[in-house]
């Protein structure tokens, strides 16, 4: 006999077959409902909440929880957006930032994008470029914060997820890198291109974390990948690389360390 | 407007029920490609063309950085020619990332994967490339080789046959297929290529010098090129296909029927215009609980009233204000000669207006004294009451029901049954025997 569960606060009269995904969906739907009934009091709170939801999207994406990711995405999309204080100034600063970035003047670009995103915090392009420049300047925490802000404004922005994946990859945060790459693929306008980008990273990226994250993401979506997972190894001077002929490891110099 | 909103709501519901994720996009195009292969393998040119059109109707990705992609593609081609497959892969991949909208780049990337024996990647890229350009002969060849290397001779044959069918110049493709039938190729590639040489010949290309005939007939293109070349399959594809003609002629005469009950939209179905003064035939079960009826045939709309109805056979005749010069002609035939004939179905399954599908007549069935035509064309709720059309444009049946178990086991009330019923008015409606003109 089929077991049933009712998501009674949403559909008091409807019973449907129980499934773990539905329990998660019920929980997230409750969150969605709560978010719409109790709007956050201040923008600051909203900002913190948004970052929390972006983190949730990362976690859920890393386990390929499609329903969960979509529900949190909807919560973010319902959140109130900040209002521009000076949209004209923001546009001008944004153009300056783009020009500077094109000329690789990263500090100038950073200042301009900061100005643009302060004058119009709802301008997702400006906030996204701010994150990009901060990543290029190896300011990872600020980059993460800006990219999360961009994703809070537009949670389906594939390119921002991709940049966030790079930030986590460079910080050796493997799990979040996988989540961010998974969302890169999920929201890609052209999934085949995203797949090929992932394969390119999986085969050629020098950062172990990012390379392994790309491999894991391809596997998460059951996409073909040839490279085997290579965990970042701690130095072990007693063992030489795998012998390609015999397929076994062999000790160096009769087991002595060099 | 009520008509539009009812249809839109159904479409929205359908869209919500089917998440359009990244994986789904690939599954959709793969489904169409596999259908093209299956129909090609069965030598069903109409089926191939139908699914080719489905692919061509999909939204295309926008061209991106083609200026950056071009030299990378060139570089890839050079590496491929030197058998430097890894370098070719790297270059084609960069070109593809720069401009994923170019089918040739995607096809070349697929070929590079194939040469590296990365068959899964090769298949995905070939399917994607063909979704952008379903008549790209070279990519069909690649896909055929991929299936051949996995030991799937049937799909290899279907893909190779499409390579031949869509070739701008069939001669080199035929030569390539000949080469694949011998040498060190996998057995499935050899079998597939042999089958393709028999199957894949384009409709207007029966006299190819490389067909299975041992000596070329004198009318074929000579090696010197002085004779005019045979019509290429692309040229023949540019002219209207049978499916296209049937669709164009039938769509203005096929109706969406919307029923209202207690002031609300209740049911959707299909119907067909059978008289010049707006009489429409549909199924009784489409309209039996309705308080009010509305119809849309092509671009025109009207309210409708029930003129006649019967439970067995499940038929109803509606009167509308849609006067029309054109009307469907009912085909009187109901004999074993019908089995195996191609049929075309138009209707509004789940409110998807004007959905066109194809199949064959699979059998003749008599159920509770009513004569039915069994068809293999896909039919879903909303198709009820719609026309099942023969290749001469006449209606051989009224789509009525399908078996939920099994696949493509669908039934249409035979037009012969309609003609024999009290609904048929010979003064206003037209019928013809099998093979007759209308």
At a CB cut-off of 8 Å and minimum separation 6, what does B379 contact? B345, B347, B349, B357, B399, B402, B410
Give the nearest partner residue to A192 out of B19, B100, B118, using CB atoms. B100
Query: B218 versus B188: which is more confidently predicted?
Result: B188
Would the pTM of this model clear 0.80, i.e. be above it?
no
Give the nearest partner residue to B96 out of A191, A193, A224, using CB atoms. A193
- Cβ distance A196 to B96 less than 8 Å, yes or no, reads yes
Q: Name the DSSP class of B353.
A: T
pLDDT number for residue B183: 62
pLDDT number for residue A45: 53
Q: Name the DSSP class of A80.
A: P
**What's the angle, vertex CA A214, arms to CA A213 and CA A218, rounded to 5?**
115
Taking the C-alpha atoms of residue B110 and residue B125, their distance in angstroms, rounded to an integer, is 5
Taking the C-alpha atoms of residue B427 and residue B438, their distance in angstroms, rounded to an integer, is 15
pLDDT, one tens digit per residue, over B284-339 is: 999 988 889 999 998 888 899 999 999 989 999 999 999 888 899 999 999 988 99
Which of A61, A65, A67, A192 is most worth mutating to test chain B (most B CB atoms within 10 A of its CB)? Answer: A192
Taking the C-alpha atoms of residue B35 and residue B55, their distance in angstroms, rounded to an integer, is 11
Using the Cβ of A188 and the Cβ atoms of chain B, whether some distance falls under 8 Å is answered with yes
Q: For chain A, how many residues are written?
A: 258
Torsional sign, CA B188, B189, B192, B197: negative
Burial pattern B336-358, b for ≥16 Cβ within 10 A else e, equals eebeebbbbbbbbbbbbbebbbb
State the nearest Cα–Cα gap between A189 and chain B, in angstroms.
8
pLDDT number for residue A107: 96
Q: CA A199: distance to chain centroid?
A: 17
Q: For the residues A93-121, what does the mean pLDDT come to?
A: 96
Range in B36-45, B179-188, B254-263, B299-308 with the lowest mean pLDDT: B179-188
Q: Where are the domains of chain A?
A: 4-78, 87-220
Burial of A239 (0-12, 13-18, 19+ CB in 10 A): middle
Burial of B409 (0-12, 13-18, 19+ CB in 10 A): middle
pLDDT number for residue B319: 94
- The helix or strand, by DSSP H or E, that contains position B359, with its residue range, turns out to be strand B355-367
**CA neighbor of B34 nearest in space, from B111, B146, B112:** B146
pLDDT, one tens digit per residue, over B207-222 is: 332 223 222 323 333 3
CATH architecture of B251-320: Beta Barrel (2.40)
Identify which of A23-27, B16-20, B382-386 has the greatest average pLDDT.
B382-386
State the nearest Cα–Cα gap between B79 and chain A, in angstroms.
18
Taking the C-alpha atoms of residue B162 and residue B47, their distance in angstroms, rounded to an integer, is 12
Taking the C-alpha atoms of residue B286 and residue B261, their distance in angstroms, rounded to an integer, is 12
Percent of chain B with pLDDT over 90: 54
pLDDT, one tens digit per residue, over A158-172 is: 999 999 999 999 999
pLDDT number for residue B104: 95
**CA neighbor of B375 nearest in space, from B391, B363, B387:** B363
Q: Name the DSSP class of A239.
A: B
pLDDT number for residue A29: 52
Q: Do the Cβ atoms of B180 and B172 come closer than 8 Å?
A: no
Residue A180, pLDDT above cutoff 50: yes
Helices (H), B200-338: 233-238, 242-250, 284-287
Smallest CA–CA distance from A69 into chain B, residue? B21
Taking the C-alpha atoms of residue A25 and residue A5, their distance in angstroms, rounded to an integer, is 12
Backbone phi and psi for residue B297, each to the nearest 5 degrees, phi listed first: -115, 115
Query: A3 versus B425: which is more confidently predicted?
Result: B425
Q: For the residues B363-380, what does the mean pLDDT come to?
A: 92
Taking the C-alpha atoms of residue B117 and residue B95, their distance in angstroms, rounded to an integer, is 21
pLDDT, one tens digit per residue, over B248-264 is: 989 999 999 999 888 77
Taking the C-alpha atoms of residue A235 and residue B96, their distance in angstroms, rounded to an integer, is 37
Q: By three-state DSSP, how is residue B141 classified? A: helix
Per-residue pLDDT band at B200 (split at 50, 70, 90) = low
pLDDT, one tens digit per residue, over B296-310 is: 998 888 899 999 999
pLDDT number for residue B21: 57
Q: Do the Cβ atoms of B295 and B375 come closer than 8 Å?
A: no
pLDDT, one tens digit per residue, over A137-156 is: 999 999 999 999 999 999 99
Query: A257 versus B301: which is more confidently predicted?
Result: B301
pLDDT number for residue A6: 35
Q: How many CB atoms lie within 10 A of CB A85?
A: 11
Q: Where are the domains of chain B?
A: 2-28, 31-220, 251-320, 329-432
CATH superfamily of B31-220: Tetratricopeptide repeat domain (1.25.40.10)
Give the nearest partner residue to A196 out of B25, B97, B118, using CB atoms. B97
pLDDT number for residue A227: 67
- Fold annotation for A87-220: 1.25.40
Q: How many CB atoms lie within 10 A of CB B223?
A: 10
Q: Is the ipTM of this complex over 0.95?
A: no
Q: For the residues B32-58, what does the mean pLDDT come to?
A: 90
Smallest CA–CA distance from A198 into chain B, residue? B97
Give B268's strand partners.
Answer: B258
Using the Cβ of A140 and the Cβ atoms of chain B, whether some distance falls under 8 Å is answered with no
Q: For the residues B252-280, what does the mean pLDDT come to?
A: 90
Contacts of A194 in chain B (CB under 8 A): 22
Q: Do the Cβ atoms of B275 and B326 come closer than 8 Å?
A: no
Percent of chain A with pLDDT over 90: 61
pLDDT number for residue B5: 41
Residue B90, pLDDT above cutoff 90: yes
State the nearest Cα–Cα gap between B306 and chain A, in angstroms.
37
Mean model confidence pLDDT for chain B: 83
**CA neighbor of B188 nearest in space, from B157, B220, B233, B230:** B157
Per-residue pLDDT band at B224 (split at 50, 70, 90) = very low
Q: For the residues B9-22, what does the mean pLDDT come to?
A: 39
Residue A130 vs residues A99, A113, B130: alpha-carbon distances, Å: 13, 5, 39
Backbone phi and psi for residue B207, each to the nearest 5 degrees, phi listed first: -105, 35
pLDDT number for residue B199: 75
At a CB cut-off of 8 Å and minimum separation 6, what does A149 contact? A47, A50, A51, A117, A121, A127, A131
Q: Do the Cβ atoms of A217 and A182 come closer than 8 Å?
A: yes
CATH 2.40.10.10 correct for B329-432: yes
Query: B367 versus B104: which is more confidently predicted?
Result: B104
In chain A, the largest separation of any two C-alpha atoms, in whole Å, equals: 74
Q: Do the Cβ atoms of B153 and B192 come closer than 8 Å?
A: yes
Q: For the residues B59-70, what does the mean pLDDT come to?
A: 88
DSSP string, A5-64: E--TTT-TT--EE--HHHHHHHHHHHHHHHHHHS--SSHHHHHHHHHHHHHHHHHHHHTT
């Amino acid at each position: 006999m089929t077991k049933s569960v009712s998501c009674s606060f949403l559909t008091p009269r409807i019973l449907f077959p129980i499934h773990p995904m539905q329990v998660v969906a019920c929980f997230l739907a409750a969150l969605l409902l709560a978010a719409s009934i109790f709007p956050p009091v201040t923008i600051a709170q909203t900002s913190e909440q948004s970052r929390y939801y972006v983190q949730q999207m990362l976690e859920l994406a890393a386990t390929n929880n499609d329903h969960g990711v979509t529900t949190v995405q909807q919560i973010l999309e319902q959140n109130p957006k900040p209002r521009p204080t000076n949209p004209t100034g923001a546009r001008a600063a944004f153009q300056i930032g783009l020009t500077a970035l094109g000329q690789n003047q990263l500090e100038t670009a950073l200042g301009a994008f900061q100005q643009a995103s302060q004058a119009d915090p709802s301008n997702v392009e400006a906030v996204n470029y701010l994150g990009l420049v901060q990543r290029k300047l190896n300011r990872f925490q600020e980059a993460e914060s800006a990219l999360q802000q961009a994703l809070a404004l537009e949670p389906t922005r594939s390119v921002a997820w991709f940049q966030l994946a790079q930030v986590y990859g460079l910080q050796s945060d493997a799990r979040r890198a996988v989540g961010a790459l998974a969302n890169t693929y999920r929201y890609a306008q052209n999934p085949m291109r995203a797949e090929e980008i992932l394969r390119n990273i999986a085969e050629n990226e020098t950062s172990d974390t990012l390379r392994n994250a790309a491999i894991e993401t391809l596997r998460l979506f059951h996409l073909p990948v040839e490279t085997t997972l290579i965990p970042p190894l701690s130095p072990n001077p007693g063992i030489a690389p795998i012998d390609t002929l015999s397929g076994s490891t062999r000790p160096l110099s009769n087991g002595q360390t060099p | 407007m009520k008509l539009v909103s009812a249809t839109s709501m159904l479409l929205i519901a359908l869209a919500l029920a089917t998440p359009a994720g990244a994986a789904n996009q690939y599954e959709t195009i793969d489904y169409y490609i596999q259908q093209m292969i299956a129909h090609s393998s069965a030598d069903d040119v109409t089926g191939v063309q139908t699914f080719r059109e489905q692919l061509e109707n999909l939204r295309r990705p926008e061209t991106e950085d083609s200026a950056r992609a071009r030299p990378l593609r060139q570089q890839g081609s050079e590496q491929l020619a030197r058998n430097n497959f890894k370098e070719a892969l790297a270059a084609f991949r960069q070109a593809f990332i720069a401009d994923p909208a170019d089918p040739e780049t995607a096809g070349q990337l697929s070929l590079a994967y194939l040469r590296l024996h990365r068959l899964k990647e090769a298949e995905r890229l070939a399917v994607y490339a063909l979704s952008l350009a379903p008549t790209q002969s070279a990519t069909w060849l690649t896909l055929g080789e991929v299936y051949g290397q996995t030991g799937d001779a049937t799909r290899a044959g279907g893909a190779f046959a499409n390579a031949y069918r869509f070739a701008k110049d069939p001669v080199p493709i035929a030569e390539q297929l000949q080469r694949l039938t011998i040498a060190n190729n996998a057995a499935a590639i050899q079998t597939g290529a042999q089958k393709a040489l028999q199957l894949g010949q384009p409709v207007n290309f029966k006299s190819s010098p490389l067909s299975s005939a041992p000596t070329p007939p004198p009318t074929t293109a000579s090696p010197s090129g002085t004779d005019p070349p045979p019509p290429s399959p692309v040229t023949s594809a540019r002219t209207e296909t049978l499916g296209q003609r049937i669709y164009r002629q039938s769509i203005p005469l096929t109706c969406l029927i919307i029923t209202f009950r207690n002031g609300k939209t209740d049911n959707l179905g299909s119907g067909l215009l059978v008289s010049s003064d707006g009489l429409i035939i549909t199924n009784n079960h489409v309209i039996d609980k309705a308080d009010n009826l509305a119809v849309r045939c092509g671009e025109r709309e009207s309210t409708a009233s029930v003129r006649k109805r019967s439970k067995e056979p499940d038929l109803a005749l509606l009167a509308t204000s849609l006067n029309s010069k054109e009307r469907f002609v009912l085909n009187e035939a109901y004999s074993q000669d019908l089995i195996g004939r191609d049929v075309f179905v138009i209707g509004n399954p789940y409110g998807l207006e004007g959905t066109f599908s194809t199949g064959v007549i699979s059998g003749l069935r008599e159920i509770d004294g009513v004569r039915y035509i069994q068809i293999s064309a896909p039919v879903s709720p909303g198709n009820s009451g719609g026309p099942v059309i023969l290749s001469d444009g006449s209606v051989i049946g009224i789509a009525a029901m399908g078996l939920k178990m099994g696949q493509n086991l669908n039934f249409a009330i035979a037009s012969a049954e309609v003609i024999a019923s009290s609904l048929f008015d010979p003064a206003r409606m037209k019928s013809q025997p099998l093979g007759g003109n209308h």
